[in-house]
């Protein structure tokens, strides 16, 4: 019987295996293609990110260098301000100022800060002698030789061992340094030398550096022009820098794996190389693909920076494409193998019908997915369009050929694109439409011609003919495989107008504050309006005092004949273009004539306008703060035109500023008349008045606050020299006749600056000046105190002072008015009266009244401080009546004086002695208990007993004393209680044999111990 052949694996047809292999090959090819695309995108993104990271680090490095140098130049400006605020800065003051700044701690890279006086050849010997006398006997200006002028290093802080090498070096003797000195002298700004070797480095040729210098001018001379600056130059302040120290830590972490080279000037040559962060063989390994060359200017001198990357720069980003490639390759192989195995398995496991059904289901599922993706894409596109149309910026997208892809509604509204313009089909027509609205189309056309590449962007500001200002940004972007540009436009008219108005307002206010003439202020207002609108010519016409005539205030760019035709004419007689100004003043309203040809009888009345080539005119009334008409601001154009909203706002602001200037000038006239009256009263006032300038003191206090000093009182106590230095900064501006008479001075002494703060506070009264300074700096407007001063004839006197902060300077503490009253005689009389009232005339000790007052004060202290203690001693001379009877009362008085002197020798400063009766004395010992008082009393008793008094005739008299002691307590009812106890102990000592000490603690017998004479 026939048999069915077995189904062998190798017996199947070849066509059965073609499908799985081809499918696997397609999957492999597709995956490899996707892997290649992913690798390319990762590689491009890595390169772009590396370039962006490199650019960012370069910008940060350059900004750090420029910022550090600007900070150091500001330090020099502070030293320049020190010299500007003083006619003479001593070496000690220079050292104290820079020590407070702590330059070497806070400003790394500065090798020191020095002072260079400008010396002629004739003054060189005198200068050397002065420095030698100042404590530097070996000082000499070098190199030797006669030159037109010298600039030796006279002050240099900190005066370290290396800086001593430069001490006395004449910077003007070397051409590179001399060029920087001359540049600073002529410009009045900071100047920097080229590449030099610092004198401080000795003979080292490896270290390169440079100097930064600032001029110091004579404040009493003008220095507005080059000639004036040369004539007013007094000295320079300078700072030497060593490149290695300056660049240490500048880049920080961002400079990692970067090779920085700094060249002097624009050439990259070995001779110009000032600094190399990786010198020698390390620098040769730097990359030549990532290189940035930056040109910077510091203090008028150019540097060129070349920055290159070192191997390993952002290696992690560059390794990412390789990881993507290897991952994609392995995934492709695995997916292809899985596809082949799956297809082969399905071919073996399923029949052709099942395979067809499965493929049909997969196809339907794919179609559904495609439809869903299409719907999602439509929704995303609609959402993107809604977002674009809702932005506040106008957006335009085109390619480098000018073909426009899309724009939003804000762009079309901003540029007023008509609906009839087919901008998508004709991009050139849209460009022409935008160009027609611009005053200058060069920035817009330049952005189209020179579009930025990569991640860079370009910014331009566009000015429209209607007065609007638009900010334009252009960025490069990739749309699929095509390079495109993204244009962003934003209307910044309001912000630009506010900035211009604020600038003009600040400029006018500064001129008003400095007392500039009205003509200059009005001219500044006119020029600012013309600068905002170049096609506009402006003038300001003012009403005279009669308010019937016009006078010219400012018209810097109008013809002279045109200006003279309105100056001094009556309002009723003005016609033509000037009649428009008269109309605006009569009506008090703005007048706009867009075309002067439309005015009736234009040919006859507008002859002046035709001669000046003017076609339109706008008139804006100028009012004061109260609304009073002061004049009119006229704006003219050479073409017929009407003003936009921006023009009208600008004219209104300019008219407001002009009104402020005019009112300020009128107030200034009235103020000068009032000042003359006040000056007369000031000069003839019976009270001594002093006007003082404290601005330098305020600046020094600000410097102390910035240096971290918070408690000024503690600072002055710890550093008395700081208070003395602040006192030296006070400048006497003026003094009336009574003040000059008080200090024995005259007007010549005042003019030559002989008066100083010593005529209010002398050296012994500096603590009172410190109290006044703390009070006024703390916000007080008035401070009163007693002080001592020195007259110009050298006599020391006492006075009573009232310091009043000048009105308007309460916050800044710039000017202080001082009234002084000489109270020397009154103080002397009061002291004499006090001496008479509190002192025993015979012994010179405090009398009973004074002693009792001290006893009451000590009793009050013990009541407050219960843990404290005090003791009272009562003394009586033994057998004093016998001395008077034998030798007379004169000898008795000498004995009393002798005892008083012995008592004073044994007392502490806090102890209070007193004569309370004829031969009775008392001593108050604060803070002393009975045991310590007993030791003191015994020592005093022995001293009295062992001493002797020799009187006339050679007679030697010895005396003894009896002493009674008692402890003083806060629980006593009054101070008489302790006196009673001490007196009881004294009488006990008398009864016990005299020349002894008894104590009374208030017990039964009252005797605690006895000290008998041996």
Q: Which residues are designated catalytic? A: 919
Distance between start and end Cα atoms, the chain:
165
Token duo for residue 297:
């200017």
In the block, residue with structure tokens 């794996």: 257
Cβ(156)–Cβ(163) below 8 Å: yes
Q: In what helix (H) or strand (E) does residue 875 lie, and over which residues does it extend?
A: strand 870-877
Q: What CA dihedral angle connects 8, 9, 14 and 19, to 10 degrees?
A: 140
Per DSSP, the three-state class of 367 is helix
Q: What is the rounded distance in angstroms from the CA atom of residue 103 to the CA atom of residue 75?
A: 9
Q: What is the rounded distance in angstroms from the CA atom of residue 980 to the CA atom of residue 1000?
A: 10
Burial of 619 (0-12, 13-18, 19+ CB in 10 A): buried
**By C-alpha distance, which of 630, 455, 665 is closest to 545?**
630
Q: In what helix (H) or strand (E) does residue 22 lie, and over which residues does it extend?
A: helix 15-84
Token duo for residue 249:
């830590």
Please state, as a whole number, how many other Cβ atoms lie within 10 Å of the Cβ of residue 164: 12
**By C-alpha distance, which of 1011, 925, 1005, 1004 is closest to 962?**
1011
Token duo for residue 316:
């992690």
Cβ(799)–Cβ(739) below 8 Å: no
CA angle 904, 907, 908 (to 5 degrees): 130
Q: What is the rounded distance in angstroms from the CA atom of residue 180 to the CA atom of residue 271?
A: 19
Rg, C-alpha atoms of the chain: 48
**By C-alpha distance, which of 363, 364, 440, 434 is closest to 402?**
434
User: CB pairs under 8 A, 24+ apart, for 29-36?
Assistant: 31/328, 31/331, 31/332, 31/335, 31/336, 32/328, 32/329, 32/332, 34/328, 35/324, 35/325, 35/328, 35/329, 35/331, 35/332, 36/328
155-157 vs 591-593, strand pairing mode = unpaired
209-217 vs 191-192, strand pairing mode = antiparallel
Q: Which residues pair with 212 in a beta bridge?
A: 192, 239
Token duo for residue 298:
């510091």
Q: What is the rounded distance in angstroms from the CA atom of residue 242 to the CA atom of residue 111?
A: 7
Within 13 Å of residue 848, how many CA atoms lie on the same side as its CB?
8
616-623 vs 591-593, strand pairing mode = antiparallel
Q: What is the rounded distance in angstroms from the CA atom of residue 253 to the CA atom of residue 247?
A: 13
Per DSSP, the three-state class of 101 is helix
Report CA torsion sign: 66, 71, 72, 74.
positive
Given its phi and psi angles, is residue 19 left (phi above 0), alpha (psi -120 to 50 degrees) or beta? Answer: alpha
Within 13 Å of residue 55, how many CA atoms lie on the same side as its CB?
9
One DSSP character per residue, 660-684 reads: HHHHHHHHHHHHHHHHHHHHHHHHT
Burial of 736 (0-12, 13-18, 19+ CB in 10 A): buried
**By C-alpha distance, which of 696, 690, 686, 702 is closest to 787?**
690
Q: Any idea how long the chain is?
A: 1014
């Amino acid at each position: 019987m026939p048999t069915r052949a077995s189904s062998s694996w190798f017996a199947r047809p070849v066509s059965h295996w073609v499908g799985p292999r081809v499918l696997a090959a397609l999957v492999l090819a597709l995956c490899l293609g996707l892997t290649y695309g992913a690798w390319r995108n990762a590689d491009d993104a890595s390169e772009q990110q590396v370039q962006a990271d490199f650019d960012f680090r370069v910008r940060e490095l350059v900004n750090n260098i420029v910022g550090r140098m600007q900070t150091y130049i500001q330090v020099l400006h502070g030293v320049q301000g020190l010299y500007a605020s003083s006619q003479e800065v001593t070496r000690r003051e220079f050292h104290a100022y820079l020590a407070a700044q702590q330059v070497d701690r806070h400003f790394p890279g500065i090798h020191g800060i020095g002072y260079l006086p400008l010396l002629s050849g004739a003054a060189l010997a005198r200068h050397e002698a002065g420095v030698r006398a100042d404590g530097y006997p070996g000082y000499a200006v070098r190199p030797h030789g006669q030159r037109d002028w010298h600039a030796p290093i006279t002050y240099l802080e900190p005066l370290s061992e290396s800086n001593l090498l430069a001490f006395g070096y004449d910077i003007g003797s070397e051409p590179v340094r001399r060029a920087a000195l001359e540049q600073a002298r002529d410009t009045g700004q900071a100047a920097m030398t080229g590449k030099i070797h610092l004198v401080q480095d000795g003979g080292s040729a490896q270290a390169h550096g440079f100097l930064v210098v600032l001029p110091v001018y004579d404040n009493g001379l003008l220095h507005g022009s080059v000639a004036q600056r040369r004539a007013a130059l007094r000295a320079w302040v300078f700072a030497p820098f060593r490149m290695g120290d300056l660049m240490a830590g500048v880049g920080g972490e961002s400079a990692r794996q970067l090779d920085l080279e700094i060249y002097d000037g624009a050439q990259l040559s070995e001779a110009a190389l000032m600094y190399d962060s990786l010198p020698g063989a390390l620098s040769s390994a730097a990359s030549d693909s990532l290189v940035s060359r930056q040109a910077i200017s510091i203090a008028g001198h150019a540097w060129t920076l070349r920055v290159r990357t070192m191997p390993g720069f952002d290696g992690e980003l560059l390794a990412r494409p390789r990881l993507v490639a290897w991952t994609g390759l392995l995934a492709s192989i695995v997916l292809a193998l899985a596809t082949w195995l799956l297809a082969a398995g399905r071919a073996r496991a399923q029949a052709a019908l099942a395979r067809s059904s499965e493929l049909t289901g997969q196809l339907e599922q794919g179609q559904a997915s495609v439809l869903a993706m299409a719907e999602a894409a439509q929704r995303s596109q609609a959402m993107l369009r809604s977002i674009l149309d809702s932005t506040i910026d106008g957006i335009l997208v085109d390619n480098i050929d000018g073909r426009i892809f899309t724009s939003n509604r804000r762009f079309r509204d901003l540029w007023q694109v008509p609906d009839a313009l087919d901008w998508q089909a004709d991009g050139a027509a849209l460009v022409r439409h935008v160009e027609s609205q611009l005053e200058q189309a060069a920035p817009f056309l330049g952005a189209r011609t020179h579009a930025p590449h990569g991640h860079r962007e370009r910014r331009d500001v566009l000015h429209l003919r209607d007065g609007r200002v638009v900010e334009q940004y252009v960025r490069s972007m990739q749309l699929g495989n095509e390079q495109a540009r993204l244009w962003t436009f934003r209307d910044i008219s309001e912000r630009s107008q506010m900035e211009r108005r604020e600038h003009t307002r600040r400029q006018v206010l500064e001129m008003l504050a400095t007392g500039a003439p009205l003509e200059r202020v009005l001219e500044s207002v006119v020029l600012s309006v013309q600068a905002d609108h170049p096609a506009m010519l402006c003038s300001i016409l003012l009403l005279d005092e009669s308010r019937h005539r016009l006078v010219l205030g400012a018209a810097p760019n109008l013809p002279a004949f045109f200006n003279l035709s309105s100056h001094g004419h009556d309002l009723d007689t003005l016609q033509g273009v000037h009649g428009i100004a008269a109309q605006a003043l009569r009506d008090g309203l703005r007048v706009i004539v867009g075309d002067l040809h439309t005015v009736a009888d234009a040919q006859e009345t507008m002859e002046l306008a035709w001669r000046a080539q003017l076609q339109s005119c706008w008139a804006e009334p100028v009012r004061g703060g109260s609304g009073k008409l002061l004049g009119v601001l006229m704006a003219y154009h050479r073409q017929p035109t009407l003003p936009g909203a921006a023009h009208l706002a600008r004219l209104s602001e300019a008219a407001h500023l002009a009104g402020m200037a005019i009112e300020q000038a009128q107030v200034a006239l009235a103020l000068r008349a009032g000042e003359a009256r006040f000056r007369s009263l000031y000069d003839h006032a019976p009270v001594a008045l002093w006007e003082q300038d404290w601005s330098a003191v305020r600046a020094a206090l600000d410097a102390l606050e910035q240096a971290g000093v918070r408690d000024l009182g503690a600072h002055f106590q710890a550093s008395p020299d700081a208070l003395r230095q602040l006192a030296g900064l006070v400048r006497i501006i003026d003094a009336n006749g009574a003040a000059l008479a008080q200090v024995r001075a005259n007007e010549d002494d005042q003019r030559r600056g002989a008066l100083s703060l010593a005529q209010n506070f002398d050296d012994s009264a500096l603590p009172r000046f410190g109290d006044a300074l703390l009070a006024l700096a703390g916000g007080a407007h008035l401070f009163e105190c007693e002080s001592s001063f020195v007259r110009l004839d050298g006599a020391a006197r006492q006075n009573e002072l009232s310091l009043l902060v000048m009105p308007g300077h309460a916050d800044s503490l710039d000017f202080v008015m001082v009234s002084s009253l000489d109270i020397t005689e009154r103080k002397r009389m009061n002291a004499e009266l006090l001496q008479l009232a509190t002192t025993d005339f015979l012994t010179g000790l405090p009398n009973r009244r004074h002693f009792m007052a001290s006893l009451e004060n000590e009793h009050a202290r013990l009541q407050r401080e219960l843990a404290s203690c005090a003791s009272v001693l009562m003394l009586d001379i033994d057998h004093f009546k016998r001395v008077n009877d034998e030798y007379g009362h004169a000898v008795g008085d000498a004995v009393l004086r002798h005892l008083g002197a012995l008592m004073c020798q044994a007392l502490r400063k806090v102890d209070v002695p007193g004569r309370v009766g004829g031969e009775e004395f008392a001593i108050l010992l604060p803070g002393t208990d009975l045991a310590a008082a007993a030791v003191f009393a015994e020592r005093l008793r022995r001293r009295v007993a062992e001493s002797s008094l020799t009187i006339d005739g050679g007679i030697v008299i010895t005396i003894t004393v009896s002493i009674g002691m008692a402890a003083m307590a806060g629980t006593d009812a009054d101070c008489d209680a302790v006196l009673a106890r001490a007196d009881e102990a004294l009488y006990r000592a008398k009864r016990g044999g005299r020349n002894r000490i008894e104590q009374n603690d208030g017990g039964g017998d009252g005797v605690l111990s006895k000290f008998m004479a041996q």
